[in-house]
Structure 1
Amino acid sequence: MDVEHNESIGETKSAIQTWRYRHHFTYKADQGKNIIVQCNLCLPRVNLLSTSKTSTSNLKKHLDRTHLGCDAKPAAKRGRKSNDYNGEESRNCQLKKIKAEILSKCMSQAKTDDLIFNFIVEDCQSFYVLEQPGFKKLIAGLTEGLKSMDRLTLFTKVDLGFSRMREALMAKLGSVQYVCTTADIWTANSRSFFGMTCHWIDTRSLERKSAALGFARLHGRITYDTIAGRIHDIHVAYNIESKVQTTVTDNASPFISVFKEFAVENQDTEDDIGFYENVGAILEGEPEQDMLLFLPTVQRCASHTLDLIVTEDFWQAVSQGPMCQLHYSAMAKVFAIWSKCHHLQVGMDAAEEIAKMSLVVPAVIRWNVEYCGVQKIVSLTERELTELCARLEVPRLQPEEMAFLKEYVTVFHPLAFALELFQAEKKCYLGLVIPTVLSLKNKLNEQKAAAHYLGDVINAIVMAIDVRFQELFASTEAKIATATTPQFRLWWMAASEREEMCSLLATEASQVEPCLETDANTSQKSSSNLSEDDFFSYGPVKQTEQNQQRGVNEEIGKYIEGTGKSLACLQDFPRVKQLFLKYNTTLPSTAPVQRLFSQKGNLVTSQRNFLTDDYFERVQLLRYNSNVCSLFTE
């Protein structure tokens, strides 16, 4: 029975009696100003709804939310023509059907599997989560009955996604002329991993692009020939061995031995050429000849070099100076505060309550995080610091210790800023290093006159900068990279050296093509339409070479005299732009590959134990390269 047939039973008159969708509801009971009806479309499930006697808005909302596209055939309203009513009804039904189709597509099984795959890869979840009963119920409830995929399907999607990602990455790298790679080794939970990332600059937008190439497990003893083989194999696998300008590594001894033995610049004689022996083939009993191994030139990580200066050289200078005891006592009290705030919830609450901020607790590795922690403590007022030390039950910092820490923060602020610049990725180039180091030296020397505690330490650090960056200051590649960066040009050089640098830039620019983005069809067409005048030649055309050299000199001169600092101005200097792409593709630090290792959940959790080394590497590469290839497989 619908509502119209139950008028006598309910003995009430309401707005639903003249409503065009009344046939979808059955009257059940009268409840004061409301009536209770049952939805016929929800059968066999009994769904009782309450609505006002004077309004049907609740019931209309129920139809719109639960029964999109329902076949409503109400009677015509009073005072309305039947044709107008039928047209409106048709449009409403058509709109509801479209909404129903969109909803059905969003809730498809394939789309659900893609979302689960994205969840597993992006958050580095264990594959076993798919078999948990709670996760299955969650998926079924959110998708209205769809099922969660099993682990076998997930493994298949990982293989398919990895293949698609690899093909897309190789296609991108195939169209790139210059490439830089970064390499590093990380050990955690008694396991060692070798990671490598790849970086290039888009020729049109001049934006830096990045991708991960490898995240392999290292077994056994780590030797320099093993590392060299890994680097070479990855370069060959992605077909970039001839495009890699440099490989950026830290200053650790394994990488120093690798590039000392195998780098191209050291292979002047036949005796110096390195050979890579395939150990795996020997263990498997397969005869394998030694393969000739060439590696690109190496670029030392600038941020790691600065980190060594503020850890090793700084500590050595402080330990030999008169401020040793003062520095030790001040930092000991600071570390006591950090320890309480890190390990005790009471300490964290006290810092947030008193200082109205979260106190930074430094990591073990990065000095700049430690500097930020000292900066936070120094920013506290004397009352706040005294109350914080009392709440944490740690020794209070004396006035002289606070004065030492404030000078420490002031003196080393330029160094912390330089570290932040080097650890950037998108807007950091090799041409940034020399001006940054020169500016750092100048700012440290400016602090020397006003320094009361750290004057001798500043001298030691400036000398350490000269020693550790000596190779970089003598590098021709670094000088060209700096000169082709519009922000610096030749402003950082002494006036006596600028003429020689202009000649070097002109020589390099004359050896590159001004525009490499040529269409293959255009080049074929121009070669096929060779005229007689172009064919006949009687020796070198000296005038053309002279005109070309004159054009190069004019372009270099205009670039040097320019004042624009954005990379967009390089579009007006095509040869300088090519030099920028060649020499500034190199990154100054290994920060990207360190971020690859430090991604949440990849090395430090037990979830890694549920995957083989091969699938663990695939998941990490898919996660890092999601900007290159979408994780969705549809």
Structure 2
Amino acid sequence: MDASQNESCGETKSAMHTWRYRHHFTYKADQGKNIIVQCNLCLPRVNLLSTSKTSTSNLKKHLDRTHLGCEARPDAKRGRRREEYNGEDSRQGQLKRLKAEIISKCMNQAKIDQLIFNYIVEDCQSFHVLEQPGFQKLIAGLTEGLRSMDRITLFAKVDLSFSKMRVELMAKLATVQYVCTTADVWSANNGSFFGMTCHWIDGDSLERKSAALGFARLQGRLTHDSLAGKIHDMHSAYNVESKVQTTVTDNASPFVNVFKEFAVDSTDSDDDIGMFDNVSAVLEAEPEQDMLLFLPTVQRCASHTLEQIVTEDFWQAVSQGPTCQLYYSAMSKVYSIWSKCHHLQVGMEAAEEIKKMPLFVPSVVRWNVEYSALQKVVSLTERELTELSARLDVTRLQPEEMDFLKEYVTVFHPLAFALELFQAEQKCYLGLVIPTVLSLKNKLNEHKDAAKYFGDVILAMVTAINVRFRELFSSSEAKFATATTPQFRLWWLAASEREEMCSQLATMASLVEPADVAETNPCRNVSTIESEDDFFSYGSAKNSSHNQERGVTEEIRSYVEGTGKSLECLQDFPRVKQLFLKYNTTLPSTAPVQRLFSQKGNLVTLQRNFLTDDYFERIQLLRYNSNLCPLLNE
């Protein structure tokens, strides 16, 4: 009997049971872990073979050596499925080869060069990566023989793409009526860098657009003259001198000196630097200062001013108050936890295991980062805090200290929220500042009476807000910007002042050219901003009137009495929309230019890549502007 008939005779199932060549062998007997079979192709000669129950390799070798050719054929019935699989594998192989051929035809050298160029610019990679053997082998392996471009080709592509970007950006700016710029200076690698970004609002979609104008190395001694020259040069390079409404800077001394030095009327003192200074840049100067005639009005960064209140005024109030010792004690223990989590991997793992969230050491520059880290600490339960302190070997926070920190987090949450609002680029306008500051004061005052530890500190901070933002509330530009923002309109004004503001808006709206006034559209659905409604306080709303052909006064009155909060509502009030574009183009914060500096690795790239200052600047501008002006694609 052959092997196919052995099941009925009690043969133990083995690897031969499903083997497609089993019909060439006849089962004889078991022999431990092996079985004895007779080769049918060797008959009439008796040829007994031994093979493992789990393998047919011996038998396959016998067939290959002795019966190679047409004698040893697979069983037609048992081999059909295997042949179908083999055919399927063959078809898949053909498809893979066809796909590889298509890829090789589409992936030409120009395409590879473009992908490498995008990789270098977008991720700020070293130019020397092109010359590394591993990278070259990677490209050759992925592209089946194509090579990586050399540095000469890369420099040429940078030049070509930068020229194309400049042309496209200047064409976009030529169609814009109002722009705002932000400027800042950053020191790194034993050098100083001057950065400038430009911002405007699209007249149709009312979306904010942003671009970087410069990222230049400052040579020599840093003075207000050199900064003023850089501001003027970058505005001139893109033909926006007459369109710049304001240049937003921080409150650092270099920029304070720039606009103090060349302002016609500047009476500010160092102790009461306002948020927004209405400074004229027209100079009755000597001939060598003619280049500074086009400096725009300066406005100070709102988020920087709030941070000054926290780092200076808050610190002074706490250090002189009765809770000074409690503050030092609690914060020193919190910093011990942060330090252990930051420097020891065991500490971070313990924190994540206990609370299922990472704790981190906050930056000393950004108070809102420290505040977020402190929120995580106070969210720990008493048991979790005790376990964490024991595992990190730090002094445990006492109940009174935890109560102190919890009140700190609760009281100053509005301050952290205000900082986040000011640092948001897309939805942040000059008109947001006054309502935010007013709401911040109201929120702080609400906690004053119930505060156990921070009553005097709250009073000191509210006083500091009034002093540091004094110029803001006297700025006509800031008032018009707020009044033309649908989210706020005139609710932030006292009832006795609203009528006067309506008259001023009507006067400003009457100056709008008729050609600038678009045809009114039907009323649109209004969307609310729920997260910000929790922060801002609104007055009573009135029903809006139907839109129709109307005069300036009627349009202003209809807008003021409206309830819509979406910017889309401005499409129904064309004159108000023009005023919104004029006054709200300005950003209240230098956050965009700070992001230009803080992009990962950009300030170390110059040293790492051995780039000249010009090419370093070009790479950074291409990178920042890639969303507005896509990288060159040949």
TM > 0.5 fold call? yes
Distance in 2 separating the partners of 1:261 and 1:515: 39
1:243 — aligned with what? 243
> Given the alignment of the two structures, is residue 359 of structure 1 paired with residue 359 of structure 2, yes or no?
yes
Task: Please give the secondary structure, in 2, of the residue aligned with 1:333.
Answer: helix
> Given the alignment of the two structures, is residue 294 of structure 1 paired with residue 305 of structure 2, yes or no?
no
Cα 1:492–1:550 change in 2 (3 A) is same
Q: 1:58 aligns with which of 71, 85, 89?
A: 89
2:222 — aligned with what? 222
Q: Is the 8 A contact 2:280 2:297 kept in 1?
A: no
Q: 1:273 aligns with which of 284, 290, 295?
A: 284
Distance in 2 separating the partners of 1:12 and 1:486: 86
Counterpart amino acid of 1:341? C
Q: Is the 8 A contact 1:183 1:194 kept in 2?
A: yes
Q: Is the 8 A contact 1:444 1:458 kept in 2?
A: yes
> Given the alignment of the two structures, is residue 200 of structure 1 paired with residue 200 of structure 2, yes or no?
yes
1:475 — aligned with what? 475
Q: Give the drift of 1:293.
A: 2.6
Q: Give the drift of 1:515.
A: 4.6
2:583 — aligned with what? 583
Cα 1:270–1:357 change in 2 (3 A) is closer
> Given the alignment of the two structures, is residue 170 of structure 1 paired with residue 181 of structure 2, yes or no?
no
* TM-score between both structures, scaled by the size of structure 2: 0.79
Q: Give the drift of 1:290.
A: 5.5
Counterpart amino acid of 2:92? K
Cα 1:291–1:210 change in 2 (3 A) is closer
Q: Give the drift of 1:109.
A: 1.1
Q: Give the drift of 1:388.
A: 1.1
Distance in 1 separating the partners of 2:125 and 2:171: 29
1:573 — aligned with what? 573
Task: Please give the secondary structure, in 1, of the residue aligned with 2:467.
Answer: helix
Cα 1:214–1:272 change in 2 (3 A) is closer
2:408 — aligned with what? 408
Counterpart amino acid of 1:556? I
Q: Give the drift of 1:379.
A: 0.4
Distance in 2 separating the partners of 1:240 and 1:464: 36
Paired residues for 1:521-600 under 5 Å: 551-600=551-600
Distance in 2 separating the partners of 1:500 and 1:491: 13
Distance in 2 separating the partners of 1:294 and 1:63: 68
Counterpart amino acid of 2:239? N
Cα 1:390–1:315 change in 2 (3 A) is same
1:449 — aligned with what? 449
Counterpart amino acid of 1:141? G
Q: Is the 8 A contact 1:180 1:247 kept in 2?
A: yes
What per-residue deviation string (whole Å, max 9, x for no partner) do you get for residues 359-409 of structure 1?
Answer: 132112100000001100000111111111111111111111111100000
Q: Give the drift of 1:264.
A: 7.2
Q: Is the 8 A contact 1:302 1:589 kept in 2?
A: yes
Distance in 2 separating the partners of 1:271 and 1:171: 27
1:503 — aligned with what? 503
Q: Is the 8 A contact 1:421 1:428 kept in 2?
A: yes
Q: Is the 8 A contact 1:601 1:607 kept in 2?
A: no
Moved more, 609-618 or 587-596: 609-618
Cα 1:276–1:153 change in 2 (3 A) is farther
Distance in 1 separating the partners of 2:501 and 2:580: 15
1:436 — aligned with what? 436
Counterpart amino acid of 1:52? R
Distance in 2 separating the partners of 1:208 and 1:337: 41
Distance in 2 separating the partners of 1:606 and 1:373: 33
1:185 — aligned with what? 185
Q: Is the 8 A contact 1:375 1:409 kept in 2?
A: yes
What per-residue deviation string (whole Å, max 9, x for no partner) do you get for residues 563-607 of structure 1?
Answer: 110000100100000000000000000000000000000114675
Task: Please give the secondary structure, in 2, of the residue aligned with 1:211.
Answer: strand
What per-residue deviation string (whole Å, max 9, x for no partner) do you get for residues 79-119 of structure 1?
Answer: xxxxxxxxxxxxxxxxxxxx955x34541211111110111
Cα 1:105–1:307 change in 2 (3 A) is farther
Distance in 2 separating the partners of 1:268 and 1:137: 59
Q: Is the 8 A contact 1:411 1:447 kept in 2?
A: yes
Counterpart amino acid of 1:598? S
1:540 — aligned with what? none
Counterpart amino acid of 2:107? M
Q: Give the drift of 1:341.
A: 1.1
Cα 1:276–1:216 change in 2 (3 A) is farther
Cα 1:564–1:501 change in 2 (3 A) is same
Q: Is the 8 A contact 1:183 1:248 kept in 2?
A: yes
Cα 1:142–1:607 change in 2 (3 A) is farther
Q: Give the drift of 1:12.
A: 13
Q: Is the 8 A contact 1:246 1:299 kept in 2?
A: yes
Distance in 1 separating the partners of 2:236 and 2:605: 32
Pairwise CA RMSD: 2.7
2:601 — aligned with what? 601
Distance in 2 separating the partners of 1:198 and 1:406: 41
2:631 — aligned with what? 631
The structure that has the greater radius of gyration is: 2
Cα 1:444–1:335 change in 2 (3 A) is same
Q: Is the 8 A contact 1:490 1:560 kept in 2?
A: yes
What per-residue deviation string (whole Å, max 9, x for no partner) do you get for residues 152-204 of structure 1?
Answer: 00000111111111111100000000000000001122211000000000000
Q: Is the 8 A contact 1:121 1:622 kept in 2?
A: yes
Task: Please give the secondary structure, in 1, of the residue aligned with 2:588.
Answer: coil
Q: Give the drift of 1:271.
A: 10
Counterpart amino acid of 2:82? S
> Given the alignment of the two structures, is residue 340 of structure 1 paired with residue 340 of structure 2, yes or no?
yes
Distance in 1 separating the partners of 2:286 and 2:206: 37
Task: Please give the secondary structure, in 1, of the residue aligned with 2:232.
Answer: helix
2:530 — aligned with what? none
Cα 1:606–1:619 change in 2 (3 A) is closer
Distance in 2 separating the partners of 1:205 and 1:107: 38
Cα 1:60–1:143 change in 2 (3 A) is same
Moved more, 200-209 or 335-344: 335-344
Q: Give the drift of 1:54.
A: 3.7
Give 5+ residue unaligned stretches, structure 1.
1-9, 14-29, 36-50, 69-98, 278-288, 519-548
Q: Is the 8 A contact 2:282 2:294 kept in 1?
A: no
Identity over aligned pairs, percent: 75
Distance in 1 separating the partners of 2:105 and 2:332: 61
Q: Is the 8 A contact 1:263 1:295 kept in 2?
A: no
Task: Please give the secondary structure, in 2, of the residue aligned with 1:603.
Answer: helix
Cα 1:226–1:163 change in 2 (3 A) is same
Q: Is the 8 A contact 1:352 1:358 kept in 2?
A: yes
* TM-score between both structures, scaled by the size of structure 1: 0.79
Give 5+ residue unaligned stretches, structure 2.
1-19, 24-58, 65-80, 267-277, 519-548
Distance in 1 separating the partners of 2:293 and 2:315: 40
Task: Please give the secondary structure, in 2, of the residue aligned with 1:53.
Answer: helix
Q: Is the 8 A contact 1:275 1:291 kept in 2?
A: no
Task: Please give the secondary structure, in 1, of the residue aligned with 2:214.
Answer: strand
Distance in 2 separating the partners of 1:419 and 1:148: 46
Distance in 1 separating the partners of 2:207 and 2:113: 33
